[in-house]
Amino acid sequence: MSTGTRKPDDQFYREYILDHYKNPRNFGRLEHPDISHEEDNPLCGDVIGMDFRIKDGVIEDVRFHGRGCAISQASASLLTERIKGLPLEQAKQIGKADVLGELGIDISPARIKCALLSLKVLKVGAYGLADEDEEE
């Protein structure tokens, strides 16, 4: 139930989330990526894809592309900032709690998938992990 937990919008759509939405970091495509992967959320039609360049086990460069709501796009932008330059082994440790924590807002169950779409792209694309979509 969302009644009783109403907040001003500004808390949900915080300035830095809007900033990442309007000015996404690492947005675009890489030429000749080592890995390229795309996932969508059919429920809302959101799409996020990521291109990775990996060198000596380190994510040397990453770009994301796609379209979607502010939450999915800001979350992707934040994630690319976090993993760029990170060893793959360390990037593998990033979990759902990290991504949600970084967004720093209360995400309703209906919007969790928006927030975690980019993490899914990272996990399935970069590590070939099984689809964790159905896990809550």
Q: Is 114 in the site for another protein (CB under 8 A)?
A: yes
Q: Is 10 in the site for another protein (CB under 8 A)?
A: yes
Q: 54-83 mask for another protein (x: CB under 8 A)?
A: -------------xxxxx------------
| Contacting range for another protein; rule: CB under 8 A; set: 44-52, 85-93, 94-102, 122-130 | 44-52
Q: Is 1 in the site for another protein (CB under 8 A)?
A: no
Nearest to 2 by CA among 110, 117, 115: 110
Nearest to 117 by CA among 86, 88, 74: 74
Cα-based distances in Å from 71 to 48, 74, 96, 115: 12, 5, 14, 6
Q: Is 23 in the site for another protein (CB under 8 A)?
A: no
Q: What are phi and psi of 118, to 5 degrees?
A: -70, -35
Print burial letters for 17-48: b (CB count within 10 Å at least 16), e (below 16).
beebbeebbbeeebeebebbbebbbeeeebbb
Among 28, 31, 32, 42, interactor with another protein by CB under 8 A: 42
Site size with another protein, rule: CB under 8 A: 25
If the CB atoms of residues 91 and 114 are measured against another protein, the closer one turns out to be 114
Task: Kindly list the residues in this chain that would bind another protein in the complex (CB under 8 A).
Answer: 2-3, 6-10, 12-13, 18, 22, 42-47, 67-71, 108, 111, 114
